[in-house]
Structures are given as structure tokens and as C-alpha cells.
Chains A and B, each alone.
Chain A
């Protein structure tokens, strides 16, 4: 399946769209040939952040479309180069604010690979557990806002009810609801609180029924189905050629999930299915994500049931901050603490790439070290950035109103696109 660059896969720039429409000089062509350029965003409720789209439309149908991004560009990659390795973790939260734990994990795994650190099994299980909760809460935000774009306002309230539960779990475990920064290079920041497992178990007990509740509201709803079915078609070959990953790729019939196919952080120990659909449309992406939430609940349950005992950080005193109590009695611990905080820890020179399956697709961290305590280069491969390129292919020739449905279905987060 060698993807070829078809002419309709050349993503136009904003100027091209504008220039294209201006080729019709007034008076030369009949009115029927006239197209119009309209601007959608950056402040538009259905663009999920500050995405600007320049659309050329002929009546109601889309002739061409160019995304204009960069409104949220904060230079995080540049900032990382000026921080110690451990100081980068809070920055990674802010890339994709709907899945902070996934970003923490990808970054920590990359640096741990550079260091050659072995992570204790309990820390791996907790990381998996929290990552799957992150996936559920990210999908809940997607479902709520996507349904709201289509006009089903009720679903939003139900989704945020359960999302609130997950955010309470995050607050309990890390002290923060959204920007958790809970993972550390070498393990986790804190011992989880005593009531955490019960809190998560209570949530897992209700969640499968709640997913059925959402489906009862949407799956058989004729308005929902008519708005989504057959809209935003993306074939498997196009999806691969355009770098699409995650649920949109699996909804196009490509059976690929990094958790199963290139396991990391102990995912090979968990038993779960990877939902795939061959329908290639917006409805298929909805079905795939709903099934993914169910599988995530299963993974969480397995992680809870099989939670091993043991430490939550690797045995590496020069990399991991010592316990507070030890610092009061142990001179070495105090020295290590001082050194790590003031000088960081050196990382052997080299380069690694670590990809993880975020709720949106493949989140990859490329970290280059020159042997010092600060990363020489950190690059994030973000799923939304690539998926956004496929927007034109999915929308071309379709109605303007479908653009809103398609944007909702690819679940973009502008924070990670612009970084």
C-alpha cells in the first residue's frame, strides 16, 4: 500500500485559497462560476480552540480549505532547552491540556530510555492506570463538545459529570485537576493516597453503565446518525499518506495501536481489544472512541486488580529526589537533593524517540542529549498536527455544515498543534 501524493492531497496555503477564488474576475464569468472565500475562526465555538480555517465555498459546498495555525504558539520546544530534564515535565502538561498524563509519560519514557533506567512494576501499573483514566476523560470532553457542535446539548452535561469524577481522582493523586505533572523521570512524584484505589474502583463500577447512557442518547438518534453517516470520508490509504493516527486511523480500517503493537510501560501485560471500523466516516470515529472508553475501563480494572507492591521510583539516588524524612537524617540524601535541584542530573549523550498512544493518536517525544543536565533538543510529534492535514481531504466537495462535524470528529487540541 504505497501512498501516492495525489494532486488533491497537496494541502493549500491560505494565499492559495484566496488567490484561487480571485481567478474569477467580475464580468468575465457567469455568476454561477463564482466562489466565495470565508473565514472561520480563530474565535469560533466549533473550532475547539483557536483554529482558523480559510474556506473557499461554491454555494454551500467546500471547494478548498486551508487551516491557519500558530495562534497558540508559545515556543515550548525552545523553553525545554533552557530547563533541566526534571523541569520539563510541567511544560509537557501544557502541550495537550486534555491528556497531561500521556504527555508526562511519553517524555519520562524518552528520558528514561536515554538514561537506561528500569522502572519498578508498581510505578508502571500506576502509570497505565492513570493513562487510561486520562484517555476516558479526554474522550468524554471530545464526546460532549462534538455532540454540542451537532446540536445535542444534553450529552455535554452527562459527559462532564463523569469527567468531574476523574478530575477528582487526579486531584486526589497529584494535587492538581488538570496540569497534574505527576510523573517523574524514574517513577512517580508521590506515593498515591490510601483511598485512591477505592475511589477509582467506585468510578469503574459506574462507568460502563454511563457509557451505555451516552450511547442511548446518540447511537439510535436519527439526527445524530444523519449528520454523521457518510460524512468526512478518509480512506485507509489517504489516512496513512497523511500521517493520521489514533481513532481516526482505526476508524479508517487500519488496525494499529501502539499500546498493543509496540508496547511501552508494561502494556504488554494487559489484555484489551483495539476497536477498528471500516466505515471511514465521522460516525465510525464515534463508534471507535466509544468502544475505546470501554476497553480503557477494562484496562483500569486489570491494573487495579493486579497492582503489585513495591517502590514507585527507580533505584537511582542521583536522579530521583530522596524522601523528605531521609534528608533529615542522612547526609548523602541531603547532598543528592541539593545537587539534583541546583545542577540537575547529566544524561548520557544520544537521541531517542518514544511514541505513545495518546487519546488523539501517536504522541512522540524526540529527545536529544549532549551529555549535560539540560536537553539539547526536545521535539514533540503531535497527533493533531498530522490529523489536521487530512481535514481538506475529508471536507472537499462536502457541505459547509459538515466541516463542523468533521472538525469535531478528529478531536484536535490546538495547544498541542501549536506548542
Chain B
């Protein structure tokens, strides 16, 4: 069974335990928090430095963008957690980048300039969570109809929808 004591938390503990990890090396200056849990590495970066962080991990060999999604931690703040999963085909490793956003007018820069693949994923987050992606080429709703009211995957949106 899972032992919570096996998780490493905080940049110092994680970076000390995995000094050779390519992503750790690339993000040493940008990381604000880190976690190594269940053999998965999570590095938190500031909102302003997400594009820089993506370019840094891309240079470090993490060339394949897999996924970006959001988690709504309503009612606690910072409310939104944007989670990027990036894969390295040469290192056979995956890294999770996390950015935390305030609930008030959440916005972050797009990473479509680094990976065009993020296009649909960011549109999905915009549609279902209401997070704005600055500089996105085509930020419109993708799942819900254009005139839909609200963002369904937010925790304050009822599961049955508004009636």
C-alpha cells in the first residue's frame, strides 16, 4: 500500500534526491516548489515563467507535449492548478509542470508557441474552466456551444447543470 512518508516535498528535498534529473537541472532557477511522489516528478513554476520553463525542458530533452489540463481547488486559493505533462522520448521520462492561478480573472500565457499541440487543450481549459490563455491564436469554446453560460468543470458548477 502507498506510504505517504515516501513522498518528497519542497524544492530542496527533491533537488537533493534527484540531482541528475534533466528536468531538475533545467528548472533549478525557475522552480518555486517541487514534489516527488509515486515515482512522478512535479515541479511548480510561477505564472510568468511558464513559457520559459517549457522552453527549458524542451531544450533538456522533454520534446513531446502530452497534455495540459486544470484542477479547480475551489473554494481555497490559489484556485486553479494548471497541469502540464511533458514526455521525453529519449530519457523515457515524464515531467509534470504545475502553475497555480488565482480564482479572480485567471489568466496565463499560451504555450502554443513552444508546442502547437497545446492549441486544442488550452481551448478546452478555456471552455470548461474559464482560464484565459494570453496570445492563443484561436481562443474560443471547443466543447460547449458558443452561447453557453458558465464553465462546467468548475467545482461551483452543479453536476446536473443550471436548470
Contact = CB atoms under 8 A, between A and B. Distances in A.
Contacts of A3: 63, 115-116
A366 to B, nearest CB: 6
A389 B117 contact: yes
Nearest to A73: B143
Interface in B112-163: 112-121, 128, 137-138, 140-145, 152-153, 157, 159
A69 B142 contact: yes
Contacts of B96: 351, 353
Interface in B82-132: 83, 85, 89, 92, 94, 96, 112-121, 128
A10 B137 contact: yes
Chain B interface size band reads 35 or more
Interface string A1-22: 1110100011111011000000
A418 B92 contact: no
Given A11-B119, A389-B116, A377 B71 contact: yes
B48 interface: no
A73 B152 CA distance: 11
Contacts of B67: 353, 364, 366, 379, 381
Given A1-B63, A2-B63, A12 B138 contact: yes
A262 interface: yes
A97 interface: no
B71 to A, nearest CB: 5
A418 B115 CA distance: 22
B138 A115 contact: no
A79 interface: yes
A13 B138 contact: yes
B153 to A, nearest CB: 6
A113 B38 contact: yes
Where chain B touches its partner, the secondary structure class is loop
Interface residues of A, number: 54
B66 A261 contact: no
Contacts of A16: 138
B7 interface: yes
Contact of B66 (A81, A242, A243, A316): A243
Contact of B152 (A69, A75, A256): A75
Contacts of B159: 78-79, 81-82
A262 B92 contact: yes
Given A69-B142, A240-B63, A115 B153 contact: no
A352 B38 contact: yes
B132 to A, nearest CB: 16
Interface in A349-394: 350-353, 355, 362, 364, 366, 368, 376-377, 379, 381, 385-386, 388-389
B20 interface: no
A83 to B, nearest CB: 10
A116 B63 CA distance: 29
B38 A376 contact: no
Given A11-B137, A13-B140, A242-B116, 8 more contacts: A13-B138, A70-B143, A78-B153, A114-B38, A243-B66, A366-B83, A386-B120, A418-B143
Interface of A: 1-3, 5, 9-13, 15-16, 69-70, 73, 75, 77-79, 81-82, 113-117, 240-243, 254, 256, 261-262, 316, 348, 350-353, 355, 362, 364, 366, 368, 376-377, 379, 381, 385-386, 388-389, 418-419
Interface of B: 1-4, 7, 37-38, 40, 42, 58-59, 63-67, 69, 71-72, 83, 85, 89, 92, 94, 96, 112-121, 128, 137-138, 140-145, 152-153, 157, 159
